[in-house]
Amino acid sequence: MKTVVRWVGMVMLGLMLVGQAAAEDGYDLWLRYRPLDGAAQARLHAQARAVVLAAPASPSLDAAVAELRRGVAGMAGREIAVSTRLVPGALVLATPGQAPAGLVLPWADLGREGWLLRRQTLQGRDVTVIAANSDIGLLYGSFAWLRAVQTGADLARLDQRSAPKVGLRLLNHWDNLDRHVERGYAGASLWDWWKLPDLLDPRYVDYARANASLGINGAVLNNVNAKADSLTAPFLAKAAALAGVFRPYGIKVYLSARFSAPVELGGLKTADPLDPAVRAWWKAKADEIYAVIPDFGGFLVKANSEGQPGPQDYGRNHADGANMLAEALGPHGGVVMWRAFVYAADASDRAKQGYVEFQPLDGKFAPNVIVQVKNGPIDFQPREPFHPLFGAMPHTPLALEVQITKEYLGFSTHLAYLGPLFAEVLQADTGHGGKVARVVDGSLHGQRLTAMAGVANIGTDRNWSGSQFDQANWYAFGRLAWDPDLGAADVARDWAAQTFTARPAARDAIVALMMGSREAVVDYMTPLGLHHLMGTGHHYGPAPWVDNLERADWNPVYFHRAGRDGIGFDRSPAGSNGVAQYAPSVARLWSDPRTTPPELLLWFHHLPWDYAMPSGRSLWGELVARYDRGVATVDDMRRRWDALKPEIDAARHAEVAAYLAVQAHEAQWWRDACIAYFQSMSGLPLPAGVRPPALDLAAYKARQFAFAPGR
Ligand code: GCU
């Protein structure tokens, strides 16, 4: 009864809202399917009169049909029927085995997951074909067709095809079993471990739909700082329940594995990867996992990094550890993603450590191991050069790991569209014969096992990602993992059209705002190649003065090295020579400050404050100018967003505006605190006309944030 009343209420509310922009809260992500305007509705209806099935029945096919019907009902305002008879204006879902007579397509090019959309005449009827070699391909194709509708493509002339360039496109959830999310700024973990496996939150399906709409085909469920508990039978049953929900959407589950689990769970005296009992334990564990999750994807492992156990505890190396797990998973088709995020061996230059430990192991890993490398050599900074391992391990599959959640970019309150950051690393020329994207898609060195991973920004917040615009980062990750050569602006255009409005002027205004946003963060936090100036532990706010942490390479002063003589980390041949880890063509450029791009200048060089910049300013003047530019860009973003008010539904407009106000305030804080601190180092006056920081340095230093999220 209660439900009926609720439904009647909702329908009435829906009717009241017809004709005006309905209240939106962001839950629907980019799959909103709001009514098109009259003419577009009629055009859509003409192209989508029915769904015709020419493919074997399966849960994935059902999901595709349900999504098409949901989309058409929402956008055209009509329920459409499902049939097996070819009718004019049909959407024909076809696989080769059951394709209607006369349908000739380049099936082979599509591979297992690719799709093709084509408006054509078939047996005398005008139809739209959605074709693929598998039910998952049809699901991806259906989402692609819906995207075409949402972004205003000409449906009467549709002709598109796409196949993923990267095999494994994975979200890495840093979710703990108590639902706290490490570096999570969007509420608690979606995974309600306590209620699993019996209770399945309907949100799991919407999560899977969103991922499938982008082509994301795997999820590592638990934090890389893993508890062994996730490998126990009760938790495997919970993971299996999630796998069951995700399976129709083409998503496999993976788990982060704690290296010392044989000791903690198995009661063994050692986790030495060369010990036969340890190997037997992992084999049995893999068998147990596959008995409950037959399509389990594999393990993600953080070993000998930031206190995590690993093979080095037993005098073994990363390959020994990874290969042991690979041996256990191999018979079942599973993979090991072994992370290269390590910085233990020698603190003289933290940026060098991943390469030092991993490059010599090139060719030593089992075929089902992928070494997972962060985009840059430090840790998800607003800007880093690409990681020197890309291109330097030709005999080893390398995965690219990016961080979607914005640990170092202002959490979810700052608007920073990460498409340009992801694209910047993918398009970077490694100097080893191709760009990073060619390492990631395997083509540079002929690797067949390929992967891209994104540390998720998803939680229980109603809008999923903590802010409306952070949804774009989930979206951009998925689209770029499918096709690393997509342009960040093109991706933003699709997202903005699907998420806010397809009206070109408004859509493009949103894209323009997004495209400048990441650079704004770089400018007001860490311009000119500076890095790791954030507050201790939580990484919130500026703290370039911190110099008292246990490990030298945790301190901001270690990274910026500012003093009376200048600023920057000398990684040139005269310094740590970190630059030598890059291919000679790249190393040559970045060894000399005059040929190092200003964006990376202080990453590679320690330079005097009066160093002459290409702009004509001194280094000190340029630094200050960049901080000011960052603040000004955020002010400009606010103005642009205000101007969009008539175009955006009120609730989401107001929410974004409120977030931008926080960002403007915090950008100013960053700028003021950093200028105050660096001025105390340079001892130089502010350039003429520059506004002094609002407060004394001591006031910025005194700020503490005891309960900042995500720790
Ligand atoms: C960063 C982050 C940690 C995380 C680590 C990792 O250092 O701050 O929370 O565990 O990266 O990637 O393993």
At the top level of CATH, which class does the domain 522-569+606-701 belong to? alpha beta
pLDDT at 10 exceeding the cut of 80? no
pLDDT at 4 exceeding the cut of 70? no
Ligand 1 lined by 182 (C-beta under 6 Å): yes
233 vs 65: CA distance, rounded Å: 35
- The per-residue DSSP string of 516-578 comes to HHHHHHHHHHSGGG----BPTTT--SB-TT----SSGGGSHHHHH--BTTBBS---STTTT-G
CA of 709 to the centre of ligand 1 (A): 14
Percent of the chain surpassing pLDDT 70: 97
Helix runs in 334-456, H state only: 353-358, 419-426, 436-440
CATH topology of domain 168-484: TIM Barrel (3.20.20)
Ligand 1 lined by 302 (C-beta under 6 Å): yes
**Which of 393, 683, 637, 423 minimizes the C-alpha distance to 523?**
637
Listing from the earlier edge strand, what are the strands of the sheet with 81-83? 81-83, 50-54, 90-94, 125-131, 115-122, 159-162
Q: pLDDT tens across 476-485, in order? A: 999 999 999 9
Confidence (pLDDT) at 348: 87
CA of 175 to the centre of ligand 1 (A): 12
pLDDT at 317 exceeding the cut of 60? yes
pLDDT at 2 exceeding the cut of 90? no
Statement: the pTM of the whole predicted model exceeds 0.75 = yes
Q: pLDDT tens across 51-67, in order? A: 999 999 999 999 999 99
Atom 7 of ligand 1 has which residue's CA nearest to it? 379
251 vs 239: CA distance, rounded Å: 13
Ligand 1 lined by 225 (C-beta under 6 Å): yes
CATH topology of domain 27-162: Chitobiase; domain 2 (3.30.379)
Q: Would you say how long the chain is, in residues? A: 711
pLDDT at 19 exceeding the cut of 80? no
Ligand 1 atom index nearest CA of 182: 9
50 vs 533: CA distance, rounded Å: 57
Mean pLDDT of 378-400: 98
Atom 11 of ligand 1 has which residue's CA nearest to it? 379
pLDDT class of 503 with cuts at 50, 70, 90: very high
CA of 632 to the centre of ligand 1 (A): 31
The residue to mutate among 374, 407, 534, 536, having the most atoms of ligand 1 within 8 angstroms of its beta carbon, is 407
CA of 581 to the centre of ligand 1 (A): 23
Q: How many CB atoms lie within 10 A of CB 331?
A: 11
Ligand 1 atom index nearest CA of 302: 13
Mean pLDDT of 301-307: 97
Per CATH, 27-162 and 168-484 having the same topology is answered no
> 16-20, 192-196, 260-264, 310-314: which range is least confident on average?
16-20
Confidence (pLDDT) at 141: 98
The residue to mutate among 306, 339, 384, 401, having the most atoms of ligand 1 within 8 angstroms of its beta carbon, is 306
pLDDT class of 344 with cuts at 50, 70, 90: confident
669 vs 545: CA distance, rounded Å: 15
Confidence (pLDDT) at 11: 41
- The per-residue DSSP string of 608-643 comes to -TTPBPTTSSBHHHHHHHHHHHHHHHHHHHHHHHHH
Which residues 6+ apart lie within 8 Å of 664 measured at CB? 631, 634, 635, 638
Cα–Cα separations (whole angstroms), residue 561 to 210, 437, 517, 590, 607: 44, 33, 27, 19, 10
191 vs 173: CA distance, rounded Å: 10
Mean pLDDT of 670-686: 98
**Which of 160, 93, 92 minimizes the C-alpha distance to 133?**
93
Q: pLDDT tens across 78-90, in order? A: 999 999 899 999 9
Q: pLDDT tens across 403-425, in order? A: 999 999 999 999 999 999 999 99
Query: Is the C-alpha dihedral spanning 584, 386, 169, 109 positive or negative?
Result: negative
**Which of 515, 317, 322 minimizes the C-alpha distance to 416?**
515
Ligand 1 lined by 281 (C-beta under 6 Å): no
CA of 126 to the centre of ligand 1 (A): 54
Residues annotated as catalytic (active site), given as ranges:
306, 379, 407
Cβ neighbourhood burial of 678 (10 Å; 0-12, 13-18, 19+): buried
60 vs 681: CA distance, rounded Å: 61
CA of 411 to the centre of ligand 1 (A): 14
Ligand 1 lined by 432 (C-beta under 6 Å): no
Say if CB 288 and CB 332 are below 8 A apart.
no
pLDDT class of 220 with cuts at 50, 70, 90: very high
Atom 10 of ligand 1 has which residue's CA nearest to it? 225
Q: What residue segments make up the domains of the chain, in order of their start? A: 27-162, 168-484, 522-569+606-701
Mean model confidence pLDDT for the chain: 96
pLDDT class of 23 with cuts at 50, 70, 90: confident
pLDDT at 576 exceeding the cut of 90? yes
Atom 12 of ligand 1 has which residue's CA nearest to it? 341
The residue to mutate among 341, 381, 540, having the most atoms of ligand 1 within 8 angstroms of its beta carbon, is 341
Mean pLDDT of 251-271: 98
Ligand 1 atom index nearest CA of 374: 12
Confidence (pLDDT) at 345: 56
CA of 403 to the centre of ligand 1 (A): 10
Pair of tokens at residue 421: 């950051």
Say if CB 334 and CB 296 are below 8 A apart.
yes
The residue to mutate among 172, 173, 183, having the most atoms of ligand 1 within 8 angstroms of its beta carbon, is 183
pLDDT class of 14 with cuts at 50, 70, 90: very low
Atom 1 of ligand 1 has which residue's CA nearest to it? 379
CA of 176 to the centre of ligand 1 (A): 13
Percent of the chain surpassing pLDDT 90: 95
Helix runs in 247-358, H state only: 261-264, 276-292, 318-329, 353-358
